Amino acid sequence: MKKIIFIGHEPLTVRTRQIFFLESFIKNNFEIEYWDLSNYFYKGLKLTDIVDEKYIKKIHKFEELVKELECIEISKTIFIIEIYNIWKNRKIFKLLKKNACYSVHIEMYATAILPLSKKEKFKNANIAVLSSALINKIKNTLYKLYQKLHNFKPYDLSITSNPNTARTESVVQVNHIDFERALLLKDTDKIVQEKYIVFIDDYFPKHPDIVTVYGIKPIGIDKYRNELVTFFERVEMKFGVIVVIASHPKSRYDSEFYKGRRVIKYLTCELVRDSEAIIMHSSAAISFATVYKKPIILTYTNLHQKRYKFLYSIVKHYSEYFNIPAHNISSETDFPNNLPQIDQKNYNLYKYTYLTSLYSEDKKTEDIILETFKNL
Protein backbone atom coordinates (compact mmCIF):
# COMPACT_ATOMS: atom_id res chain seq x y z
CA MET A 1 0.00 0.00 0.00
CA LYS A 2 1.33 3.43 -0.95
CA LYS A 3 1.10 6.27 1.51
CA ILE A 4 0.12 9.85 0.60
CA ILE A 5 1.08 12.63 2.98
CA PHE A 6 -0.37 16.11 2.49
CA ILE A 7 1.72 18.88 3.97
CA GLY A 8 -0.60 21.86 4.35
CA HIS A 9 -0.21 25.45 5.46
CA GLU A 10 -3.83 25.53 6.64
CA PRO A 11 -5.97 23.22 8.78
CA LEU A 12 -7.90 20.57 6.85
CA THR A 13 -11.36 21.88 5.92
CA VAL A 14 -14.39 20.35 4.25
CA ARG A 15 -13.43 22.13 1.04
CA THR A 16 -9.77 21.02 1.10
CA ARG A 17 -10.73 17.42 1.73
CA GLN A 18 -13.08 17.58 -1.24
CA ILE A 19 -10.89 19.29 -3.84
CA PHE A 20 -7.87 17.06 -3.15
CA PHE A 21 -9.93 13.84 -3.33
CA LEU A 22 -8.83 12.56 0.08
CA GLU A 23 -11.81 10.21 0.41
CA SER A 24 -11.16 8.85 -3.07
CA PHE A 25 -7.53 8.08 -2.19
CA ILE A 26 -8.70 6.14 0.87
CA LYS A 27 -11.24 4.17 -1.18
CA ASN A 28 -8.45 3.28 -3.61
CA ASN A 29 -6.31 1.78 -0.85
CA PHE A 30 -3.91 4.66 -0.30
CA GLU A 31 -2.91 5.32 3.30
CA ILE A 32 -3.53 9.01 4.01
CA GLU A 33 -2.00 11.48 6.44
CA TYR A 34 -2.56 15.23 6.59
CA TRP A 35 0.25 17.15 8.27
CA ASP A 36 -1.24 20.43 9.46
CA LEU A 37 1.51 23.09 9.67
CA SER A 38 -0.90 26.00 10.12
CA ASN A 39 0.42 26.85 13.59
CA TYR A 40 3.97 26.80 12.26
CA PHE A 41 3.07 29.41 9.64
CA TYR A 42 0.22 31.39 11.21
CA LYS A 43 -0.10 31.02 14.97
CA GLY A 44 -3.73 31.06 16.03
CA LEU A 45 -5.15 30.80 12.51
CA LYS A 46 -8.84 29.92 12.62
CA LEU A 47 -10.94 28.88 9.63
CA THR A 48 -14.56 27.85 9.35
CA ASP A 49 -15.52 24.22 8.72
CA ILE A 50 -12.29 22.66 9.99
CA VAL A 51 -12.61 18.88 10.03
CA ASP A 52 -11.25 16.46 12.59
CA GLU A 53 -9.94 13.22 11.09
CA LYS A 54 -7.82 10.49 12.64
CA TYR A 55 -5.25 10.88 9.84
CA ILE A 56 -4.45 14.51 10.80
CA LYS A 57 -1.15 15.33 12.51
CA LYS A 58 -0.60 18.84 13.87
CA ILE A 59 2.97 20.08 13.54
CA HIS A 60 3.96 23.26 15.38
CA LYS A 61 7.75 23.35 15.00
CA PHE A 62 10.33 22.59 12.34
CA GLU A 63 11.94 20.04 14.66
CA GLU A 64 8.65 18.14 14.84
CA LEU A 65 8.60 17.92 11.04
CA VAL A 66 12.12 16.52 11.07
CA LYS A 67 11.11 13.81 13.56
CA GLU A 68 7.99 12.86 11.61
CA LEU A 69 10.05 12.33 8.46
CA GLU A 70 12.39 10.04 10.39
CA CYS A 71 9.46 7.77 11.30
CA ILE A 72 8.11 6.96 7.83
CA GLU A 73 9.21 4.81 4.91
CA ILE A 74 10.10 7.55 2.45
CA SER A 75 10.46 5.30 -0.62
CA LYS A 76 6.81 4.25 -0.40
CA THR A 77 5.39 7.70 0.22
CA ILE A 78 4.08 10.45 -2.04
CA PHE A 79 4.19 13.95 -0.55
CA ILE A 80 1.62 16.47 -1.77
CA ILE A 81 2.96 19.89 -0.86
CA GLU A 82 0.37 22.55 -0.14
CA ILE A 83 2.66 25.28 1.18
CA TYR A 84 3.99 28.30 -0.68
CA ASN A 85 7.15 27.70 -2.68
CA ILE A 86 8.88 30.86 -1.50
CA TRP A 87 12.07 32.02 0.19
CA LYS A 88 10.78 31.89 3.79
CA ASN A 89 9.84 28.20 3.38
CA ARG A 90 13.21 27.18 1.91
CA LYS A 91 14.14 25.10 4.97
CA ILE A 92 11.11 22.88 4.51
CA PHE A 93 11.71 22.25 0.81
CA LYS A 94 15.39 21.63 1.44
CA LEU A 95 14.51 19.17 4.22
CA LEU A 96 12.14 17.25 1.94
CA LYS A 97 14.81 16.93 -0.73
CA LYS A 98 17.47 16.00 1.80
CA ASN A 99 15.25 13.08 2.78
CA ALA A 100 14.63 12.16 -0.88
CA CYS A 101 10.88 12.80 -0.58
CA TYR A 102 8.90 12.50 -3.81
CA SER A 103 7.13 15.86 -3.85
CA VAL A 104 4.02 16.72 -5.83
CA HIS A 105 2.35 20.08 -6.35
CA ILE A 106 -1.34 20.04 -7.27
CA GLU A 107 -2.51 23.34 -8.71
CA MET A 108 -6.29 23.09 -9.10
CA TYR A 109 -6.88 26.83 -9.45
CA ALA A 110 -4.12 27.74 -11.89
CA THR A 111 -4.76 31.07 -13.63
CA ALA A 112 -8.42 31.13 -12.57
CA ILE A 113 -8.23 34.89 -12.17
CA LEU A 114 -7.02 36.79 -15.22
CA PRO A 115 -3.39 37.79 -14.68
CA LEU A 116 -2.66 41.51 -14.51
CA SER A 117 0.07 43.05 -16.61
CA LYS A 118 3.09 44.55 -14.87
CA LYS A 119 1.86 47.98 -16.00
CA GLU A 120 -1.51 47.47 -14.30
CA LYS A 121 0.11 46.19 -11.12
CA PHE A 122 2.44 49.19 -11.01
CA LYS A 123 -0.35 51.65 -11.81
CA ASN A 124 -2.50 50.56 -8.88
CA ALA A 125 0.24 49.96 -6.36
CA ASN A 126 1.07 52.23 -3.44
CA ILE A 127 4.53 52.64 -1.90
CA ALA A 128 3.96 49.79 0.55
CA VAL A 129 2.90 47.41 -2.24
CA LEU A 130 5.81 48.44 -4.48
CA SER A 131 8.27 47.99 -1.60
CA SER A 132 6.80 44.57 -0.87
CA ALA A 133 7.02 43.62 -4.57
CA LEU A 134 10.69 44.65 -4.70
CA ILE A 135 11.49 42.68 -1.56
CA ASN A 136 9.68 39.61 -2.92
CA LYS A 137 11.61 39.88 -6.20
CA ILE A 138 14.88 39.92 -4.30
CA LYS A 139 13.77 36.96 -2.20
CA ASN A 140 12.69 35.01 -5.29
CA THR A 141 16.10 35.62 -6.86
CA LEU A 142 17.83 34.50 -3.66
CA TYR A 143 15.59 31.45 -3.50
CA LYS A 144 16.57 30.37 -7.02
CA LEU A 145 20.23 30.75 -6.10
CA TYR A 146 19.58 28.80 -2.89
CA GLN A 147 18.05 25.94 -4.89
CA LYS A 148 21.06 25.83 -7.20
CA LEU A 149 23.49 25.99 -4.30
CA HIS A 150 21.82 23.06 -2.54
CA ASN A 151 21.01 21.24 -5.77
CA PHE A 152 17.26 20.71 -5.46
CA LYS A 153 14.01 21.61 -7.17
CA PRO A 154 10.86 22.02 -5.07
CA TYR A 155 8.69 19.46 -6.87
CA ASP A 156 9.26 16.18 -8.69
CA LEU A 157 5.82 16.30 -10.29
CA SER A 158 3.46 19.16 -11.08
CA ILE A 159 -0.25 18.47 -11.58
CA THR A 160 -1.75 21.62 -13.02
CA SER A 161 -4.99 22.96 -14.42
CA ASN A 162 -3.08 25.49 -16.52
CA PRO A 163 -3.89 24.48 -20.14
CA ASN A 164 -0.87 26.44 -21.39
CA THR A 165 1.63 24.26 -19.54
CA ALA A 166 3.04 21.58 -21.83
CA ARG A 167 2.67 17.96 -20.73
CA THR A 168 5.98 16.28 -19.90
CA GLU A 169 7.18 13.46 -17.64
CA SER A 170 7.08 15.91 -14.73
CA VAL A 171 3.88 17.78 -15.69
CA VAL A 172 0.36 16.34 -15.73
CA GLN A 173 -2.57 18.35 -17.09
CA VAL A 174 -5.95 18.28 -15.35
CA ASN A 175 -9.10 20.37 -15.50
CA HIS A 176 -9.67 23.44 -13.43
CA ILE A 177 -11.75 22.28 -10.48
CA ASP A 178 -14.63 24.65 -11.26
CA PHE A 179 -14.82 23.50 -14.88
CA GLU A 180 -14.91 19.88 -13.82
CA ARG A 181 -17.54 20.43 -11.16
CA ALA A 182 -19.76 22.11 -13.74
CA LEU A 183 -19.38 19.18 -16.14
CA LEU A 184 -20.07 16.55 -13.48
CA LEU A 185 -23.12 18.39 -12.19
CA LYS A 186 -25.97 17.00 -14.27
CA ASP A 187 -29.59 16.41 -13.33
CA THR A 188 -29.57 17.59 -9.74
CA ASP A 189 -32.65 19.44 -8.52
CA LYS A 190 -32.84 23.21 -8.45
CA ILE A 191 -31.97 24.62 -5.06
CA VAL A 192 -33.99 27.81 -5.48
CA GLN A 193 -37.33 27.53 -7.25
CA GLU A 194 -37.92 31.24 -7.78
CA LYS A 195 -36.38 33.27 -10.59
CA TYR A 196 -33.13 34.63 -9.18
CA ILE A 197 -29.77 36.28 -9.76
CA VAL A 198 -26.90 34.94 -7.67
CA PHE A 199 -24.25 37.03 -5.93
CA ILE A 200 -20.85 35.33 -5.83
CA ASP A 201 -19.64 36.29 -2.38
CA ASP A 202 -15.84 36.54 -2.04
CA TYR A 203 -15.85 37.35 1.69
CA PHE A 204 -14.67 40.90 1.01
CA PRO A 205 -12.98 42.51 2.87
CA LYS A 206 -12.48 39.76 5.50
CA HIS A 207 -11.06 37.01 3.30
CA PRO A 208 -8.15 35.38 5.19
CA ASP A 209 -5.79 35.81 2.20
CA ILE A 210 -6.35 39.58 2.27
CA VAL A 211 -5.38 39.65 5.93
CA THR A 212 -2.56 37.06 6.06
CA VAL A 213 -0.99 37.43 2.61
CA TYR A 214 -1.50 41.14 1.88
CA GLY A 215 -1.54 42.30 5.49
CA ILE A 216 -4.60 44.52 5.02
CA LYS A 217 -6.93 44.62 8.00
CA PRO A 218 -10.65 44.73 7.12
CA ILE A 219 -12.40 48.08 7.53
CA GLY A 220 -15.66 49.57 6.28
CA ILE A 221 -17.60 46.29 6.56
CA ASP A 222 -20.91 47.84 7.56
CA LYS A 223 -20.75 50.48 4.81
CA TYR A 224 -19.89 47.83 2.24
CA ARG A 225 -22.76 45.61 3.39
CA ASN A 226 -25.24 48.49 3.21
CA GLU A 227 -24.15 49.43 -0.31
CA LEU A 228 -24.38 45.82 -1.41
CA VAL A 229 -27.85 45.31 0.05
CA THR A 230 -29.09 48.53 -1.56
CA PHE A 231 -27.77 47.33 -4.92
CA PHE A 232 -29.52 43.97 -4.45
CA GLU A 233 -32.80 45.73 -3.74
CA ARG A 234 -32.49 47.71 -6.98
CA VAL A 235 -31.62 44.56 -8.96
CA GLU A 236 -34.63 42.73 -7.55
CA MET A 237 -36.97 45.56 -8.47
CA LYS A 238 -35.46 46.18 -11.93
CA PHE A 239 -35.26 42.58 -13.14
CA GLY A 240 -38.15 40.99 -11.25
CA VAL A 241 -35.97 38.46 -9.42
CA ILE A 242 -34.69 37.68 -5.95
CA VAL A 243 -30.98 37.85 -5.15
CA VAL A 244 -29.49 34.71 -3.60
CA ILE A 245 -26.03 34.64 -1.98
CA ALA A 246 -23.48 31.98 -2.94
CA SER A 247 -21.46 32.27 0.25
CA HIS A 248 -17.67 31.97 0.12
CA PRO A 249 -16.41 28.68 1.69
CA LYS A 250 -14.34 30.58 4.28
CA SER A 251 -17.08 33.09 5.14
CA ARG A 252 -18.80 33.43 8.47
CA TYR A 253 -21.98 35.52 8.50
CA ASP A 254 -24.81 36.01 10.95
CA SER A 255 -28.33 35.47 9.65
CA GLU A 256 -28.98 39.17 9.03
CA PHE A 257 -25.81 40.19 7.21
CA TYR A 258 -27.59 40.16 3.85
CA LYS A 259 -30.91 41.36 5.33
CA GLY A 260 -32.76 38.05 5.25
CA ARG A 261 -31.67 36.88 1.79
CA ARG A 262 -30.86 33.21 1.35
CA VAL A 263 -27.18 32.52 2.04
CA ILE A 264 -26.03 29.15 0.69
CA LYS A 265 -22.53 27.70 1.13
CA TYR A 266 -20.71 25.06 -0.98
CA LEU A 267 -23.26 25.11 -3.83
CA THR A 268 -21.97 27.96 -5.99
CA CYS A 269 -21.86 25.82 -9.12
CA GLU A 270 -25.48 24.71 -8.75
CA LEU A 271 -26.63 28.24 -8.01
CA VAL A 272 -24.90 29.68 -11.08
CA ARG A 273 -26.26 26.91 -13.31
CA ASP A 274 -29.90 27.74 -12.59
CA SER A 275 -29.59 31.52 -12.25
CA GLU A 276 -30.62 34.28 -14.64
CA ALA A 277 -27.25 36.01 -14.18
CA ILE A 278 -24.48 36.48 -11.64
CA ILE A 279 -23.30 39.49 -9.64
CA MET A 280 -19.65 39.47 -8.60
CA HIS A 281 -16.51 41.44 -7.83
CA SER A 282 -13.22 39.60 -8.50
CA SER A 283 -14.07 35.97 -7.70
CA ALA A 284 -12.48 33.08 -9.57
CA ALA A 285 -15.98 31.54 -9.66
CA ILE A 286 -16.47 33.56 -12.83
CA SER A 287 -15.48 30.26 -14.44
CA PHE A 288 -18.95 28.84 -13.66
CA ALA A 289 -20.53 31.73 -15.55
CA THR A 290 -18.41 31.02 -18.61
CA VAL A 291 -19.21 27.29 -18.58
CA TYR A 292 -22.96 27.84 -18.16
CA LYS A 293 -23.02 30.93 -20.42
CA LYS A 294 -24.51 33.30 -17.84
CA PRO A 295 -24.57 37.12 -18.03
CA ILE A 296 -22.09 38.70 -15.62
CA ILE A 297 -22.85 41.89 -13.66
CA LEU A 298 -19.43 43.11 -12.54
CA THR A 299 -19.36 45.34 -9.48
CA TYR A 300 -16.94 47.17 -7.20
CA THR A 301 -17.07 49.85 -4.49
CA ASN A 302 -15.22 52.98 -3.50
CA LEU A 303 -13.51 50.80 -0.90
CA HIS A 304 -12.11 48.61 -3.69
CA GLN A 305 -10.79 51.66 -5.51
CA LYS A 306 -9.15 53.31 -2.52
CA ARG A 307 -7.91 50.50 -0.24
CA TYR A 308 -7.99 47.27 -2.27
CA LYS A 309 -6.65 48.41 -5.59
CA PHE A 310 -5.31 44.98 -6.55
CA LEU A 311 -8.87 43.60 -6.38
CA TYR A 312 -10.25 46.59 -8.27
CA SER A 313 -7.68 45.90 -11.01
CA ILE A 314 -9.02 42.36 -11.39
CA VAL A 315 -12.58 43.68 -11.77
CA LYS A 316 -11.46 46.11 -14.48
CA HIS A 317 -9.48 43.38 -16.19
CA TYR A 318 -12.56 41.13 -16.28
CA SER A 319 -14.50 44.04 -17.71
CA GLU A 320 -12.04 44.48 -20.57
CA TYR A 321 -11.63 40.76 -21.25
CA PHE A 322 -15.36 39.99 -21.48
CA ASN A 323 -16.27 43.39 -22.92
CA ILE A 324 -18.84 44.14 -20.20
CA PRO A 325 -19.26 47.17 -17.91
CA ALA A 326 -18.14 47.26 -14.27
CA HIS A 327 -20.54 49.10 -11.96
CA ASN A 328 -19.60 51.09 -8.86
CA ILE A 329 -22.29 50.16 -6.34
CA SER A 330 -21.19 53.04 -4.10
CA SER A 331 -22.71 55.33 -6.72
CA GLU A 332 -26.49 55.74 -6.94
CA THR A 333 -26.27 56.58 -10.64
CA ASP A 334 -24.11 53.62 -11.75
CA PHE A 335 -26.61 50.82 -12.35
CA PRO A 336 -27.15 48.32 -15.21
CA ASN A 337 -30.19 49.06 -17.36
CA ASN A 338 -30.03 45.60 -18.93
CA LEU A 339 -28.26 42.31 -18.36
CA PRO A 340 -24.90 42.23 -20.20
CA GLN A 341 -24.73 40.38 -23.52
CA ILE A 342 -22.79 37.11 -23.65
CA ASP A 343 -19.83 37.15 -26.00
CA GLN A 344 -19.54 33.47 -26.98
CA LYS A 345 -16.09 33.97 -28.48
CA ASN A 346 -14.64 35.44 -25.27
CA TYR A 347 -16.35 32.85 -23.09
CA ASN A 348 -14.84 30.00 -25.14
CA LEU A 349 -11.45 31.72 -25.22
CA TYR A 350 -11.50 31.88 -21.43
CA LYS A 351 -12.46 28.20 -21.26
CA TYR A 352 -9.47 26.94 -23.26
CA THR A 353 -7.03 29.49 -21.85
CA TYR A 354 -7.81 29.11 -18.17
CA LEU A 355 -10.07 26.11 -17.45
CA THR A 356 -9.28 23.09 -19.57
CA SER A 357 -7.34 21.70 -22.52
CA LEU A 358 -8.18 19.47 -25.47
CA TYR A 359 -6.29 16.70 -23.65
CA SER A 360 -8.20 16.84 -20.36
CA GLU A 361 -11.66 18.28 -21.08
CA ASP A 362 -13.28 14.84 -21.51
CA LYS A 363 -11.47 13.25 -18.55
CA LYS A 364 -12.09 13.41 -14.81
CA THR A 365 -9.29 15.03 -12.84
CA GLU A 366 -9.78 12.49 -10.07
CA ASP A 367 -9.15 9.63 -12.51
CA ILE A 368 -6.08 11.33 -13.99
CA ILE A 369 -4.52 11.84 -10.55
CA LEU A 370 -5.37 8.35 -9.30
CA GLU A 371 -3.87 6.74 -12.40
CA THR A 372 -0.75 8.91 -12.09
CA PHE A 373 -0.21 8.01 -8.44
CA LYS A 374 -0.83 4.30 -8.99
CA ASN A 375 1.89 4.29 -11.64
CA LEU A 376 4.51 6.04 -9.54
Q: What is the mean pLDDT of residues 342-348?
A: 92
Question: What pLDDT band is residue 116 in, cutting at 50, 70 and 90?
Answer: low
Mean pLDDT calculated for residue range 324-336: 95
CATH 3.30.230.10 fits 187-348, yes or no: no
Q: What secondary structure letter does DSSP report for 214?
A: S
What pLDDT shows up at residue 345?
A: 93
Q: What is the location of CATH 3.40.50.2000 in the chain?
A: 3-110+156-176+357-374, 187-348
What is the CATH class of 3-110+156-176+357-374?
Answer: alpha beta
Report how far residue 99's alpha carbon sits from residue 122's, in angstroms, rounded to the nearest whole number. 41
Residue 290 has pLDDT above 80, yes or no: yes
Asked whether the predicted pLDDT for residue 12 surpasses 90, the reply is: yes
Per-residue CA distances from 361 to 18, 110, 175, 357 (Å): 20, 15, 6, 6
For residues 84-97, average pLDDT: 94
**pLDDT at residue number 130:** 67
Label residue 21 left, alpha or beta by phi (over 0 means left) and psi (-120 to 50 means alpha).
left
Residue 259 scores a pLDDT above 70: yes
